[in-house]
Amino acid sequence: MTEMSTSTLRADRDWWRGAVIYQIYPRSYQDSNGDGIGDLKGIVARLPHIAALGADAIWISPFFTSPMKDFGYDVSNYSDVDPIFGSLADFDAVIAEAHRLGIRVMIDLVLSHTSDQHPWFVESRSSRTNARADWYVWADSKPDGTPPNNWLSIFGGSAWAWDPTRLQYYMHNFLTSQPDLNLHNPDVQDALLGVERFWLERGVDGFRLDTINFYFHDKQLRDNPALAPERRNAQTAPAVNPYNYQEHLYDKNQPENLEFLKRFRAVMDEFPAIAAVGEVGDSQRGLEIAGEYTSGGDKMQMCYAFEFLAPDPLTPATVAEVLRNFQKAAPEGWACWAFSNHDVVRHVSRWGRGVADRDAHAKLLASLLMSLRGSVCIYQGEELALSEAELAYEDLKDPYGIQFWPDFKGRDGCRTPMVWDAGAVNGGFGSARPWLPVPAEHLQRAVSAQQGDQASVLEHYRRFLHFRKAYPAFAKGEIEFLDTDGQVLAFVRSYGNEKLFCLFNMSGERATGILPNEPVSALEGHGFTAEVKDRTVNLPAWGAYFARLV
């Protein structure tokens, strides 16, 4: 077990507020044993990179025992490590080394569903009368044999699969091999809280909670209503997916979830300095739900919705609208923002079509993300400005992409291996052929190619994280947006007596911004340059300016 007494971390219950959390997709981070798959020992070896970056915490995507139909998001044993990733002792080593380096460890808990190979489901499907018969969402067919309602799976088709043993349907919001747990059953809740406690006792500092608004379903199994075409968007599912054609009133987002989240929080509060961030997957009510789940100080510390993970172009108006809407929906709440993760097209590709200076664009987006009110998630490779990989159909592993190819190419393009050494085989990821190919264009952006080059994206991330930590207003302050024109975004971050003016040119052309009508003192150390004449700030393409209001 990890000896927490050796930790260099302070027991700060508020550490999460404004934290920068680095997401690790373990299959693709570092292969230590030459099997083509990243593992926990590989994470240990690369933790110094994260410490040098300046992140406060890591979030590790699932490493639990799994048949890997959805690459770990289909858990068959919540309390053990899958052998492809290592062992519990290897996980303890991750905790110990991260804490030695001053990094907190958050793990990804998938509580809405399990693998169909989990012993709970194997027992549940064996009969209608066994001890776990009600641990999953089972329902009789309609008289004509069709599913009990019109609910749809995010991965395509009906959210119901027929089981020939029970002669009933079971619910699956994702793959048919990912049956949904029935959290209306208090025994299921108790079992999941036991999983939470197992990992807290092992030394984790918190959780990222997958699909947090999918935990409960409508007991009456009412049909979802149709969603008007003008209200459809592709935040939660790609545009080619009919999932977007429904308003998901009854298959998720149920009010009973609030009481379960309070139970989950109560367990966290038994331990020092624990925090959780919930993933809210809903295209219409995401910010509102995030507000509900982070209100009152008795549920989640943080949530994130999909507004900045959507394909829509990022503009100053969009940024201001999203932040204002969150403040309105969650006056007591706290957001955790991300531009990229393991499920969406990498943001330098998603928003970078037609951009001439890719590095300047990446630096501007990183600085903007880390200047917003809220905590921050950085996805591995983002600090290198890795682009979305273009993979051949025969290289795909993601069932989502295989299902909707070629209109939607799935999630493999953002999950290719991390590139460490431009001159090493497989970019330094490992000696064997990786589970996904390493794109040739990524090699020139490897850590070895950027480290020490002060003009590189990697060094900008390091520099800006260091700059950010020098001013508490960035991490914990309020935000006030100022009126601007065109592609310029301006806001003030304030905390106590500290007020910081932030100006961003979100375009590839030169632009100007206006200073507030009060004395300012320009800040340095962030890596941007701008000309100031009178009260006008002349910004280069993808430029930024920061000052203290005095």
Q: Is residue 370 within 8 Å of 461, Cβ to Cβ?
A: no
Cα dihedral 63, 68, 72, 74, rounded to 10, equals -130
DSSP string, 181-242: B-TTSHHHHHHHHHHHHHHHHHT--EEEETTGGGS---TT-PPPPB--GGG--SSSS-TT-G
- The catalytically annotated residue of 56, 70, 210, 279 is 210
Start-end of H helices in 370-503: 399-404, 440-443, 447-450, 457-469, 472-476
**Domain 478-549 falls in which CATH fold?**
Immunoglobulin-like (2.60.40)
For residues 413 and 387, give the distance between their C-alpha atoms in angstroms, rounded to a whole number: 9
Question: pLDDT tens across 309-321, in order?
Answer: 988 899 999 999 9
pLDDT of residue 2: 38
For residues 145 and 168, give the distance between their C-alpha atoms in angstroms, rounded to a whole number: 10
- The catalytically annotated residue of 144, 230, 270, 518 is 270
pLDDT of residue 101: 97
**Catalytic residue at 187?**
no
pLDDT of residue 376: 98
Burial of residue 119 (number of CB atoms within 10 Å: 0-12, 13-18, 19+): exposed
For residues 33 and 49, give the distance between their C-alpha atoms in angstroms, rounded to a whole number: 20
pLDDT of residue 240: 85
- Tokens read off for 117: 């190979």
Q: Which of 537, 459, 470, 463 is CA-nearest to residue 502?
A: 537
Question: Measured in Å, how far apart are the chain's first and last C-alpha atoms?
Answer: 50
User: Over pLDDT 70: what percentage of the chain?
Assistant: 99
Per-domain boundaries in the chain = 4-11+18-114+186-468, 478-549
CATH of range 4-11+18-114+186-468; options 3.20.20.80, 3.40.1710.10, 2.40.50.140, 3.40.50.720: 3.20.20.80
For residues 155 and 353, give the distance between their C-alpha atoms in angstroms, rounded to a whole number: 27
pLDDT of residue 308: 96
Residue in the structure block whose two tokens are 């393009």: 413
Question: pLDDT tens across 278-301, in order?
Answer: 999 998 899 999 999 999 999 999
pLDDT of residue 8: 58
Question: pLDDT tens across 209-267, in order?
Answer: 999 999 999 999 999 999 999 888 877 777 888 999 999 999 999 999 999 999 999 99
Pairing of strands 138-139, 160-163: unpaired
pLDDT of residue 150: 98
**Catalytic residue at 441?**
no
Q: Which of these ranges, 67-76, 434-443, 480-489, has the smallest mean pLDDT?
A: 480-489
Task: Tell me: pLDDT of 30 over 50.
Answer: yes
- Tokens read off for 476: 């914990």
For residues 121 and 180, give the distance between their C-alpha atoms in angstroms, rounded to a whole number: 10
pLDDT of residue 332: 87
> How high does pLDDT run on average in the chain?
95
Question: pLDDT tens across 108-167, in order?
Answer: 999 999 999 999 999 999 999 999 999 999 999 999 999 999 999 999 899 999 999 999
Helix (H) or strand (E) holding 98: helix 88-100
